Amino acid sequence: MSTLEGKVAIVSGSSAGIGAAIAQELSYRGARVVINYPFSSEKENAKAVLSSLEGPAGSITVEADLSSTTGPSKLVESAVERFGTIDILVNNAGISAPLDIRHADLDECLNAWDTMAGLNGRGTLLLTRAVLKHLAKQNSRIINICSTTSRNPEPGMSVYAGTKGMIESFTRCWARELPQEYGCTVNAVAPGPVATENVLSAPPQILEMLKKTSDGTPVAPRMADPSEVAWTVATLCDERAAWLNGFRFSIDQCAPSVRLCDLNSTYKYVVDQLPQGYRDSRGFPTGNILIWLSLKLVGIPNSIMWFNRGHSRPCENLAHHVGPIVVVGAGPVGLFTALLLAQASVKVIVYEKGSGIDQSPRAVAYFPAVLEEFFKAGILEDIINAGEKNTKGCDWRDKDGNILCKLDVPPDMSDFAVMLSQPEMCEVVLAALQKTGFADVRFGHSFEHLEQDEDAVNYWIKDESTQQVTKNRCQSLIGADGGRSTVRKSLDIEMEGFTWDSWLFVAVNFAYNLDYFGWKAGNFIVDPDEWSIVVKRGKGDSWRMATAIPRQITESTDKRFVLEEAEVKRIKDRICRLLPETRARLSTRQWRPTLLISVAPHASGKLNNPVGGLGLTTGMLDAAHLGRSLRQIFREGANPSVLTTYARVRRNIFRERTDKLTTSNLLRLMSTDAADVKKREELFARLKDPGEFVSKIQTGLPDFALTSTSETKFDTFHETTWFISVTQPDDWTREQFIHEYKTVHTGMTKGGKQAGSPVRRYVQLSNSALTVPGTERPSWDFVTCLTFPNLFITHAGLQDPHYRATAGKHIFCRLDQKGCLVRKVAYFSQVAGEDGFNPGAIRALMFHHRTAKDDKFTEEWFQERANKVTELVTSDHRVRSFVLWQDITPKQIGHFFKDTQFAAGTWHNFKAVETYDFVDQDGAGTFLRDLGERLMKAHDGKITVVVGEPDVIF
């Protein structure tokens, strides 16, 4: 969506909350944005917002305190110095503080007035005044953010409501004074309670007051999302909103709206200007937003237009129906899920059978993807303080402790892991959970069984101290009670997967100063009989060994084993052989063994072995995705289908990545199979090679491939292909363009490859005159096709100084490029042994367009498409090969392409790509003409097709 392309917007107070969401939406629609923050302490937040922008490059951050008399002019001068003119001003900066004048003394009243009136009132006035002479004289916009509080205040909000009333009055006056002279419109947007981070972290009494307000919202009893306010603001900035002037749009409950200027066909305008993805098949609006309008001119006085994305009726806030959300199990996944919900003001009850946090030896490593989720939850600093950073990497050793291979962390790598025992981590999460005021954690209470009806879940809990069983009722119940889950059994769900029948996994804590002898925090012991992992548990000299001993053939796999004395001695001897000296301090308590089968429940229900720390990692990332999905349902009124998406995504990640990674980790340590031994030797050789960094990244950062909620971590698992449109600059000759692209840039890329660039394949596809019925042919001259080991390497390559100084700096085409990053999901070839990267004489690329920002194909579509095309081409020897690609372009494209020429491009238009390679040009032409239409009939969206000769550079 580029309805604001070329526009420049100032958004005051945009380093967080509503302002940040407005900046992101304006950027998404094509504007360059000036992000304003008041103090240096907000600088990093402003930079994070800047990195999150998905629109064109060039947006900036400016520090300016708008409560001062000089701040507004400073902000405008900085913007004009950079851009020359201003098209949009959003007066968003504001401050709120409750003050009951009946009980406050004079100083408190004066301080509150000076603070709120100085920023909310005077700041808005002075910023608008400063920007007027720099406004574009046509289709410029001033949007004032006021509040429903000015008309429907709660007790204790008189000062805040008064200052927001000032802004309403400004809007009425300016809507009459400014348009004719400055070519602008002036409107106000009045949100009610909005679920920003600051609001959600407010004291309980404030949240309760806001809840009373939000509960009165007709469409859905919930707070608005910042993105909904942002959508309204950006829509008012659209060129087609030029007839909307002097309006107050209330994004909340049924407050009266203000109409100051004549309005022609407003309803038709609002509906017609919505993009296709925000209208249903009847043309009625969708989109998760409310706009209240007084539509007297179209015969609908005081009417309500509610837009509810993906639904045919208003959303309902399920959290207000039947009781709290219940979590069974106070392990890391259960507690973290509960924390995420409680932080969103959702009431949670956690039941745990044990008398407290489980103290048995468990996982200890928290990798960057999990640490990012801790950061979002506000507990990262506490986790780091409780544990110990690992910035050194890991080693592989033999059973005597001799190093076989090292994996050192690059000196410029900013990512790190934290070593902290699972019980201590749980204590940190528990403390944060209890501080929310929305959680009730009940130890010594075990789950018995459940029954579901149409409206809720009935469940029975036993008090372990009294043995009394009580029946309870809740809206949703989360089973986080481990591999032997009683919740799962109560639902008659079978455990999937397999058991390592030949091994009994054992974990032991011990104390020894291995740091002194140069041991890293993570160590893998390679041996067919005595394999193990030895990891540090946090601060001090506490370590953990996870290993295994042979299981007796008659032993039950469901039994919790007690080791015999001989087995205990065997484990002791195993550790002592590893230790650099024989004076190990090993107490009887420290040698109490614990059977480890699982760390936490995963979306697939399948359990993994304990080698590599990825079980806990996957569990915590499951919790992050589940917590986000439940918050969307219970606080934002989202369709419960987001849980289906959660289950599908997390199940696939476990099956396709976690399971494969942990299995390969274990086989690397203990397998004597010739193929596994060869893989281990080849990996160690690559890790020892100073010039080989792809394997180091994939081995050292496997967690990047396991997250589905990260905004900064990029997949290290799947090979990635990047399609990039290449178009001749308007002021270049054809000869100059061909020389720069085919000779200069190609030469640079080849040179980079010889110097160690991670690019695996480079193909240039020309855009011929051939077309496909039912599709569009773009104006591009070429499509560049680059293949990288993974998405992480693609991003890292863009940050490489050598690349930035050579090919990354070379401008050889227009920078309004289009394309996407994809992974291969299906492949067919007529030629045995080909991998899909040996183009025929002619290649066709089919780009499937998105109809909305979040539009994407389902797994079923990819499977059906692959089957249909394969069936068509199997006996058709005109087609040499076929590849189906799924878009994996990061949502936070501003961060991915930060400070590169690609930041100005458009990368989210396509959701899938198909590649067809043909034997010759005649075969391509007849196939595309004869069968192309059959392929297109299976898809009702827009498709762009490029057909041409592929030039394989390498």
Q: Quick one: DSSP state of residue 377?
A: T
3-state secondary structure of 625: helix
Question: In sequence order, which ranges of 436-564 are alpha helices (DSSP H)?
Answer: 486-490
Does the annotation mark 160 as catalytic?
yes
| DSSP string for 136-168 | -SSSEEEEEE--GGGTSPPTTBHHHHHHHHHHH
Q: Exposed (0-12), middle (13-18) or buried (19+): which is 860, by Cβ within 10 Å?
A: exposed
Question: In sequence order, which ranges of 117-253 are alpha helices (DSSP H)?
Answer: 124-132, 158-177, 179-182, 197-200, 204-214, 226-237
Give CA separation, 673 vs 444, 669, 670, 783, 806, in Å: 47, 11, 9, 44, 46
Q: What is the largest CA-CA distance in the chain?
A: 93
Say if residues 286 and 278 touch (Cβ distance below 8 Å): yes
Say if residues 21 and 226 touch (Cβ distance below 8 Å): yes
- Radius of gyration of the chain from Cα atoms? 30
Give CA separation, 942 vs 76, 774, 845, 850, in Å: 41, 9, 14, 8
- Other C-beta atoms closer than 10 Å to the C-beta of 158 total 18
What's the rounded Cα separation, in Å, for the pair 695 and 664?
14
Nearest one of 909, 902, 730, 926 to 842, comparing CA atoms: 926
β 950-952/761-766 pair status: antiparallel
Please give the helix or strand (H or E) that residue 952 lies within, else none. strand 950-952
Phi, psi dihedral angles at 903 (to 5 degrees): -60, -20
Sign of CA dihedral 910, 914, 920, 921: negative
Nearest one of 106, 90, 107 to 143, comparing CA atoms: 90
Give CA separation, 776 vs 568, 842, 846, in Å: 71, 18, 10
Of the residues 28, 37, 160, 512, only one is catalytic, namely 160
What's the rounded Cα separation, in Å, for the pair 893 and 721?
16
Nearest one of 529, 532, 588, 595 to 562, comparing CA atoms: 595
Please give the helix or strand (H or E) that residue 70 lies within, else none. none
**DSSP H helix total and E strand total for the chain:** 30, 35
What's the rounded Cα separation, in Å, for the pair 854 and 52?
16
Give CA separation, 718 vs 286, 653, 714, 821, 825, in Å: 35, 12, 10, 11, 10
- In the block, which residue shows the tokens 């049924």? 254
3-state secondary structure of 310: coil
Q: Bridge-partner residues for 285, per DSSP?
A: 279
Nearest one of 541, 553, 587 to 568, comparing CA atoms: 587
- Give the number of C-alpha atoms closer than 13 A to the C-alpha of residue 394, restricted to the C-beta side: 23
3-state secondary structure of 847: strand
What's the rounded Cα separation, in Å, for the pair 712 and 703?
12
| DSSP string for 919-930 | SSHHHHHHHHHH
Buried b (16+ CB within 10 A) or exposed e, 8-40: bbbbbbbbbbbbbbbbbbbbbbbbbbbbbbbee
- Enzyme catalytic residues: 160
